[in-house]
Structures are given as C-alpha cells and as structure tokens.
Amino acid sequence: MTRRADDGSGIAPRKAALQILNSVYQERRMVSHLDAAAGLAAPERARAERLAQSVLRHTGRIDTLLSRYLERRPHPAVQNILRLGAIELLLDRSEAYGVVNAAVAIAKQARPTRGAAGLINAVLRKLDQEGPEIWTGLGPQTLPVWLRKAVGGAWGEAATRAMEAAHEAAAPIDLTLRDPSAHFSLGDRLPTGSIRLPRQTQVSGLDGYDSGAFWVQDAAAALPARLFGAVADQSVLDLCAAPGGKTLQLAAAGAKITALDLSPIRLRRLAENLKRTGLSAQLVTGDVLEFAEAPWPMILLDAPCSATGTIRRHPDLPFVKSAREVEALTKLQMQMIDRAVALLETGGRLVYCTCSLLPNEGENQIKAAVKRHPNLHVLPIDTTALGVDPAWISAEGGIRILPHYWADKGGLDGFYMALLQKR
C-alpha cells in the first residue's frame, strides 16, 4: 500500500482528523465505520485518530468557548478547523505558531474554508492567549441537548455533570479472564473480578493474548452473564450475541451455548473470538423476532440499544444517534423481551441488559414487561457474589450502573441489567 507521508508540518494527520470530524458531524457516521486515515503511516494515523477523538470528546465545551469569538456559526468545515486548533492549543498545549500555521494552511486548500483563513488565524491566536482560563471554567459538556434532557430528567443535574466528566476522562481497558480465579500479574483487579489496565495498553502484545486467556470487556458489561450464577452443563440461549463478550463468559463457565445474531459480519468476529479462546458455542445467524426453537432454561438478551452508556469509549456516539432512533430501539427491545419470554421454559430465567443510560431502555422495559406478562417476575440479585455496590440495585430489582460510578477507580460503562423468571 502506498503511504501518504506526512510532509513534516503535520498537515496530513490534521487533514485526516478533519475528514473524520466532517463525516461524524455532517454525515452522522460512526468513527469505527470510517477509514479516513487509512492511507497514512501508523504514527500519523494514530495522531489523526487521537486528534479526532479528542475533539469529539470535548465538542460541547469547545463550541461554547468558540461562540465567544464568533458573531455567527461559520461553515461546518471552518468550525471543524477551529475545533481542532482549539484542542491542540488548550488540551495538548501545542506550540501556537505551528497550530495556527497548519490551520490556516489547511483552510487555504479548500473552497469552503479559503475565505475564512483570516478569521481562523485571528480566533486561534486569541484562544491561545485567553482560552486556557475560560476552558477550565466551562467544565465538561459531552451530551447533546436531546440526550442531556433525557439523562438529566432521569438522574438529576449533579449526576449528569459527573457523567459528563467521566465521558471526558475516557475509559481504561478492562479484561475478563477465561479462568476468573487465574493469577494475572498486570493492572488492578476490580471488586467484580475484571482486570483494569491503563488506556494505552497494547492488549494484543500481552502474555496470554494468543492463547486466549482473556478478552477485552468493560467491567460493567462483564456482569450480566454472571447474574445466572452457576451455568456448567446448562443450555443457554444467547440472543443478540455478537461479538460475543458474554458468550465467551458463559462458554468459559461451562454452559452449552446457542449464540444468535442478525449480523453475519459480527458473528464472524464471535467465531474468531471463540477460536482464539479455545471455547465453543453453536452459532446461528437469525432474527430474534423469528427464532422459534424452544423451550430454554436460560436466555440472555443483550438487546440492541442507544449504547449511550459507552460514550466514554465512543465520543462520536452523541452526534450519530438521535432521539427518534432511540424510540425505535425501545420498541424493538419490548418485542425482543416478549419473544424471549415465549422461548423460556416454565421456571426458566431471563437476563435482560442494555448498555444505555436511559431508563426507557432499562428500568422501564422491565416494569412494563412484568405488567404485560403476569407469569414473569424479577429475581433478587446477589450483589456480594457479583462484587458490586448494593446501592446500585434499582427500585424494580435490576442493577443500574452509570459512567461516574467508581470514578476513583476509572469509572464504568453505563449499563442496566435484570434477572427475571417465568412462573
């Protein structure tokens, strides 16, 4: 592959970062679906991705700051050059001369931004002098208006601010061990058993990676599969299984798993994960709403959701998701719960979970489900066995986790989970 070498002034990675930003903000595309930096050599590519992620993570705060220097909102491409320059000046504390020169040079290369080169020069120079103090005073603002309203309404202003701080702080890397009792010499072991490593850790280079002794999984995401307790030799239906973090946990605990997912591409990743870890499961490509094989003693439903609990890892998410999309997902989750209840045997247990901050995808789904199904009830959760704070148990009996929980340990992804039984 030909490499687009950086010309020494750092223009190439900055332009790639801007391409990522334009795609996320304007086309509402997730960073994971983009290859804007694909032609760059590894260090430039890493720089481009880091810059774009950093701008995405701080967009609300940058825009509030920039609005002080702009009479009206400029062309989106101009705004993105300003956002990038602001991050370099205020967060990276890069030398102003290089940052401003690069921003102006990039602006001059394209039609929609050419006329704004003077404005960009002036605003960034002012930001360099006045910005740092104002930046600190503004505080994190990571949620777009619609999501902030929903999150604030559910959890209150103080918790929402704490979540935004957790989003800005980003997430460490958590590992789940194939053998939870195994010794692991690196990182910290959380009370839940997950191993926590610094964000920059190159996981594929760690001892035990090739032999599949662990896999990357946020500590909160590692809890739902454990709600069943002992699963050895039991049949478990894992609905919405790919890429398979929870399938691996259940398989490692000795369950006989049938793992179903709609996406063949994601199921292929699950198959690769099983291969690396030496674990096995029966894989089925299919739609939960059409799956009819039954009955099952245990079903895990990790339903598709807004994924708003994972903003620490995916700062692009707030700009890609919409309130309307979440509404459609909420309806799908309800239909999936009904399907899962139909597939359960009498006495069988269902774990429902979502990585969402929104009660409509969590607590409210369970409250509504037990109303729709008088034969369904919520089972108590053994918080001591899980290693979680008993205060996380919600009113209807599930577990609610928000990103600022265990902030002193590095936070957690937002999650909701509940254990139910069919009578």
| Catalytic residue ranges | 355
Block residue for tokens 């692991």: 184
SS3 116: coil
Q: DSSP letter at 349?
A: E
Write out the residues near ligand SAM by the rule CB under 6 A: 240-246, 260-263, 266, 287-289, 302, 304
Q: How far is the CB of 259 from ligand SAM (least distance, A)?
A: 9
The encoded tokens of residue 376 equal 């369904």
Distances (CA, A) of 4 to 8, 84, 215: 12, 21, 33
What residues form DSSP beta bridges with 239?
260, 301
Q: How far is the CB of 326 from ligand SAM (least distance, A)?
A: 14
CA distance 214 to 357: 27
Contact status, residue 353 vs residue 381, Cβ threshold 8 Å: no
Q: How far is the CB of 157 from ligand SAM (least distance, A)?
A: 29
Residue 82's identity, in one-letter code, is: L
CA atoms within 13 A on the CB side of 355: 23
Q: How far is the CB of 417 from ligand SAM (least distance, A)?
A: 12
Q: How far is the CB of 281 from ligand SAM (least distance, A)?
A: 12
In the complex, residue closest to ligand SAM by CB:
240
Q: Which residues of 396-414 are buried (b: 16+ CB within 10 A; e: fewer)?
A: bbbbbbbbbbbeeebbbbb
Q: How far is the CB of 81 from ligand SAM (least distance, A)?
A: 35
Which of 256, 242, 244 has the alpha carbon at shortest distance from 286? 242
Residue 105 has a CB neighbour count (10 Å cut-off) of 14
CA distance 225 to 371: 24
Question: Based on CB atoms, which residue is closest to ligand SAM, 38 or 203?
Answer: 203
The encoded tokens of residue 318 equal 């707030």
CA distance 249 to 243: 12
Sheet with 214-216: list strands edge to edge.
188-189, 195-197, 173-177, 214-216
